Structure 1
Amino acid sequence: MRNTFCKKPLWEVNDHLVRVAQGKEPADTVIRHAKLVSVTTHEILEDADIAIASGRIAYIGVAGHTAEHCIGEKTTVVDATGLYATPGLIDSHIHIESAMLGPSEYARAVVPHGTTAILADPHEVANVRGLDGVKSMWEDAARTPLKTMLTTPSCVPAVLGVEDTGSSIDASQVAQSMTWPETYGLGEMMNFPGILNNEPNATNEVRETLKADRRVTGHYSVPESDRGLAAYIACGVSSCHESIGIDDVVAKLRMGMWVQLRYGSAWHNLPVYLPPLLQMGIDLRHCLLCSDDNHPNTLVSDGHMDRILREAVRLGCDPVTALQMASINCAEYLGIGEDIGSITPGKCADIVLMRDLTNFEAKRVYIDGDLVALNGKACFEVTPFAWPEFMTNTMNLGREITADTFRIPAPTANGTTDIDGPTTCKVRTITVDPGQTITRNTICTAPVQDGAVCADPATDLLKLCVFDRHHGAEGTHAFGFVHGFGIHGALAQTVAHDAHNLLVMGDNDEDMALAARTLIQCGGGEVAVADGKVLALVELPLCGLMSDLPAEQVAAKVEKVEEAWMAMGNTMPSPFMTMGVMSLACVPELRLTNRGYVNCVTFTMEDLIVA
């Protein structure tokens, strides 16, 4: 047992719990008359009592038994008549930075929704500021009751040799991080080609994690379910949240993997995978719920794990099974089921009292027996964190951005640009589909004007550019095209997975230049521009990824940006999140980094102009 995130380890208080359970000493808190959701037996136990002492559950009164014998003069008694008592909800895979909030503000946003623990992979910050940045994040996280468990980023950079990041992490650093008390595993191993080819650093990162008896989380994003998948799992990777189709999900489950069914702001895989799993009668004990990436306005307006539970039930899953996937399954996967994941004697008192099992509205939330949220509001304060300076000065392009920066010279047969040359040319294009991380590698026809290849708003062909923002004048940039966003104007963001370079997209060079300059001036973020005007801006001064403002204020800014997107012509959900993975060089089929196009099936570079 890790005992890291418990108020007190079981070995330290087991004798006290023995006395409380027998009524020889009073409990700190007794919850009475709840409908106890037993995730260990898949039951709802009516009129149950729960006695809490030293942050742990000492006794549960069920089948006609009560906890009256545990009540003393100083015991806090909570009447939970009509409420359901569920284990605290666990997000099995989350990137805090995607919410554009610091960890403590993130905790304030999610705990009132019943979330008591998260398994967080901070590879966004790590790609900008390495393990020092990760340490800063967890210093902030430690100031709240949320159990923020770390999975050390494994892929910094995500794929070797195709992009330039602000930092790097190798196997020796992974080994060092495994000694940290907050570390529970290795972050998603996106570099599956490195595993399959026995690339030393990738396999050694897994080896160091296994040596420390920690879990290796995965990201196997190819439609291959035979030798490659078997090899990936045999290496030690034990979970995956990135599948291509239901056949891949089933194959992973059959090979013993734990599969995370994802439902975030933009990536809606749960509705694709859960109904067929239920129809096939597949045992869901190895299925976990996760959000992966959530925008702040999703957290503020719709919720966190409670939102995912609502969707699971809407899709036909019974509520207790859904709760199992958000509690005990995750705890057992992590090897910490002796401490969290169920409401049973000896476990940490991470308990949510819910109004019902349809909306999963949390009325009271307890972590280690302490009331941390009441009626949708956090019971703990979050003061501004003193971030070190190296976390706030991360925009280093070393160049002046003008409209001419975005000019793409049109090629001719002799390799020179000719303003009287062809009026069109074929360009390799990233085609996106709403709500999906997978892209398509397509070829489109782009207009040529005055010797330059241009965007074509009439066919929804937008220009794309990625600038290295980490290495100053030595940095490079590359051009591409994208289809599927349908906007007029330009958009830019420094949330650009995973190197988080400056990503700019638009249908004209003037607006693209204004968008880029705006983010350089404010230290990073997200911006929408049209016809020479900034329509909306979210400033993210912390590594160009996170704000230092409260969640509600950040959510309001993001909402204005999304309104600007719609005014510009976009209709897809969470478009900035979809735009942010245009440079994610480990997910098929085609991506653009600061070095150029990457074919994420063959992991080779591709030319922009197609002969």
Structure 2
Amino acid sequence: MRNTFCKMPLWECNRTLIKVAQGQQPADLVIRHARLVSVTTHEVLEDTDVAIACGRVAYLGIAPHTAEHCIGEGTTVIDAAGSFVAPGFMDGHVHVESSMVGVDEYARAVVPHGTTGIYWDPHELCNVTGLEGVAEVIKVAESVPLKAMVTTPSCVPAVPGFEDTGAKVTVDGVRASMGWDAVVGLGEMMNYPGILSCQDDVVQEVNETLRSGRSVTGHYSVCETDRGLNAYVASGVSSCHESVRAEDVLAKLRLGMCAQIREGSAWQNLHDLAPAVADGSIDTRLCNLVSDDNHPNTLVTEGHLDRILRMAVREGIDPVTAIQMVTINVATYFQMGADMGSITPGKCADLVFIEDLKDFRVTRTVIDGEVVAEDGAALFEAGGHPYPAWMCDTMHVAADISEKAFVIPATDEDGHALKGDTALVRAMVVSPGSTITEQVRVEVPVKDGALTADPAQDLLKAFVFERHHATGSFAYGFVRGFGIHGALAQTVAHDAHNLLVVGDNDADMALAARTLVEAGGGEVAVQDGKVLGLVRLPICGLMSPERVERVAADVDAIEGAWADMGCTMPSPFMTMGLLSLACIPSLRLTNRGYVNTDSFRLEPVLVRDE
């Protein structure tokens, strides 16, 4: 697979690098007196010089050797003055759309934190606009220095037959995308039941990727490490970011899988997974640290991979090992280690200056031999991309979203009125920092012929309205764990991204739904007839055209509203956004109804007599 993410191919510039290394031609850039983090040998090389030409490393002057012979009249010299210099950080699994800004603004947020490359699965926007939308955002990525390497979304819809999305990705689409310069693999294969049952179209997507010589990334979200996992790996799926237990990490590594240890804004798995590798007894060459999903306020206030490195070290992972997990391990997994992932001769000159190996404060970022960020600020412009109208007109809700739409009739499957003051229903239960929901059975009040929310039990009503094709379809259920009074709505509702509304009263739920339709999508919090917070996301109902700092401020405000409404969980909108993700245990709600993701069947809201 040709790497199109470097300034120029090695075969076009190796003669220059040969000459620079021998002092026969001056370098473009020389970095002096660095404490070089060698990810190839797990060392810190004191007082090392790096000579760069044509966007690639030409020479390492490891003490007592220096790069003085590479310096000419036109050479830029940077004195690292003893700072640590490491390879640029790479995120092995990320959804840029979760940052609620375009990839150009995302780059402006993360590059100053040392991120030089991302492996981006844009399946969120693909569920709304298809591969045409993916092609459009690839154009946006080309406007900034960040290396945005794309994995083609594999599961659009995530689980066919259980939800309605805005688009569909077929085997033909996957095959065609493997010829795109930006594509380096297949996005997370969430349809593991399809793999295990040898479903033709699912396996064919994997096979088209393997045939092209690219990596197949995975999503095995069940706590099973025997026959199913073996079969999943045998199919050709070679990585997974869905581990929730240390034993899951070990099982995947033992089967030759790349174990991607996740720490995002809401999915906080690092603490539980670090013990699998922290004591140094396990070879970590197949481990990556990844973010998966980050809210914009996390990126602006805490950072990106530098944040995860800080946390990894606090959890007992050796700092150089942690750096390997965001550099050489990532590049090697995606078959790009010949060009990226280490500071060694011939490799792309993507590197980062760090004050220490504890706090990982980044002071300078270099991509392809160009300084692109210093002291926390990007040195390039972003934003202003003119997205086409079809990406900004995606709210097509045909269902009635007045107050009466949120009345859940207290009738059985034959339409007969239920007897009594309560009814037994199925409900989803969410937990802070987890992607997993529980399924419980709970008694709900029956009032005026309707099933109602019950704040005393922290029980809210939940609705999902189809919003792509104006079909008018919708479904309802119940959810516990948010602890709020009022209503919340969002179009960031994985993976179909339909209109999701939860609340304890019909008036607030209707206002929340109408507000988002008028805004073109986004997130809103409503209480007692008042909008407490709103994040407008008119691009696919997922992203804002505003600067990342502005969006971060809006997200801060709406999270403050959540807290005022009674919610205590971190990044609650991310947790809410997974209520409709029909490929993660155990119970989810789509526009077609409750989906039991253990048995993969639709379940009724009411529990029948047993």
After superposition, what is the alpha-carbon deviation per residue over 1:441-466, rounded to whole angstroms, capped at 9, x for unaligned? 11111111001000001110000000
Q: Matched residues in 1 for 2:373 and 2:412: separation?
A: 65
Query: Any idea what the Cα deviations from partners look like across 1:261-297, whole Å, max 9, x if unmatched?
Result: 0000000111111124324822211100100000000
Gaps of 5+ in 1: none
Matched, 1:470 2:468: yes
SS in 1 for 2:543: coil
Q: How does 1:474-485 map to 2 (within 5 A)?
A: 474-485=471-482
Q: What is the SS of the residue equivalent to 2:201?
A: helix
Are residues 1:312 and 2:312 paired?
Answer: yes
* Paired position in structure 2 for 1:546: 543
Corresponding residue for 2:116?
Answer: 116
For residues 33-86 of structure 1, give each alpha carbon's deviation from its aligned partner in whole angstroms, at most 9, with x where no partner exists.
Answer: 010000000000100000000000000100310000000011000010121000
Specify whether residues 255 and 16 from structure 1 end up closer, same or farther in structure 2 by C-alpha distance, changes over 3 A only. Answer: same
Secondary structure (helix, strand or coil) at the match of 2:426 reads strand
Residue 560 of structure 2 is matched in structure 1 by: 563
> How far apart are the structure 1 equivalents of 2:404 and 2:423?
20
SS in 1 for 2:277: helix
Which residue does the alignment assign to 1:458?
Answer: 456
Query: Residues 215-270 of structure 1, C-alpha deviation per residue, up to 9 Å, x if partnerless?
Result: 00000111111111111111100000012422222111100000100000000111
Which letter maps to 2:444? A
Residues 161-560 of structure 1 mapped to structure 2, 5 A cutoff: 161-279=161-279, 281-411=281-411, 415-417=415-417, 421-472=419-470, 474-560=471-557
Q: What percent identity do the matched residue pairs reach? A: 61
The one of 573, 577, 580 aligned to 1:576: 573
Residue 20 of structure 2 aligns with which residue? 20
1:291-321 CA deviation, whole Å, 9 max, x = no partner?
0000000000000000000000010111100
Q: Is the 8 A contact 2:279 2:316 kept in 1?
A: no
Structure 1 residues 248 and 328: CA distance shift in structure 2, 3 A: same
CA–CA distance in structure 2, aligned partners of residues 214 and 393 of structure 1? 34
- Structure 2 gaps of 5+ residues are none
Letter in 2 for 1:267: W
Distance 1:281 1:465 in 2: 48
The answer to whether the Cα contact below 8 Å between 1:505 and 1:512 also exists between their aligned partners in 2 is yes
**Partners of 1:166 and 1:215 in 2: how far apart?**
26
Q: How many residues align?
A: 608
1:3 Cα deviation after fit: 2.6
For residue 246 of structure 1, what is the amino acid of its counterpart? A
Q: Is the 8 A contact 2:278 2:318 kept in 1?
A: no
Matches of 2:524 and 2:382 in 1, distance apart?
27
Q: Provide the TM-score with structure 1 as the length reference.
A: 0.98
Matched, 1:33 2:30: no
Using a 3 Å threshold, how does the CA distance of structure 1 residues 234 and 414 change in structure 2: closer, same or farther? Answer: closer
Q: Is the 8 A contact 2:278 2:315 kept in 1?
A: no
Tell me, in whole angstroms, the C-alpha distance in 1 between the residues paired with 2:223 and 2:577.
23
What secondary structure, in the 3-state scheme, does the structure 1 residue paired with 2:238 have? strand
For residues 477 and 153 of structure 1, what CA distance do their matches in structure 2 show?
25
**8 Å contact kept, 2:399–2:474:** no
Query: Given the alignment of the two structures, is residue 133 of structure 1 paired with residue 133 of structure 2, yes or no?
Result: yes
> Any idea what SS the aligned residue of 2:278 has?
helix
**Deviation sequence 1:525-568 (CA, Å, 0-9, x none):** 00000000000000000000000000000000000000000000
Compute the TM-score of the two structures, normalised by the length of structure 2: 0.99
Corresponding position of 1:7: 7
For the residue of structure 2 that corresponds to 1:198, the secondary structure is: coil
Aligned-partner Cα distance in 2 for 1:285–1:413: 54
Provide the rounded CA distance (Å) in 2 between the counterparts of 1:327 and 1:276. Answer: 20
The whole-number CA distance in structure 2 between the counterparts of 1:451 and 1:422 is: 10
Higher alpha-carbon deviation: 269-278 or 201-210: 269-278
Distance 1:544 1:14 in 2: 46
Residues 222, 244 of structure 1: 8 Å contact kept: no
**Equivalent in the alignment of 1:79:** 79
In structure 1, what is the Cα distance between the partners aligned to 2:452 and 2:152? 42
Give, in angstroms, the shift of residue 412 of structure 1: 5.4
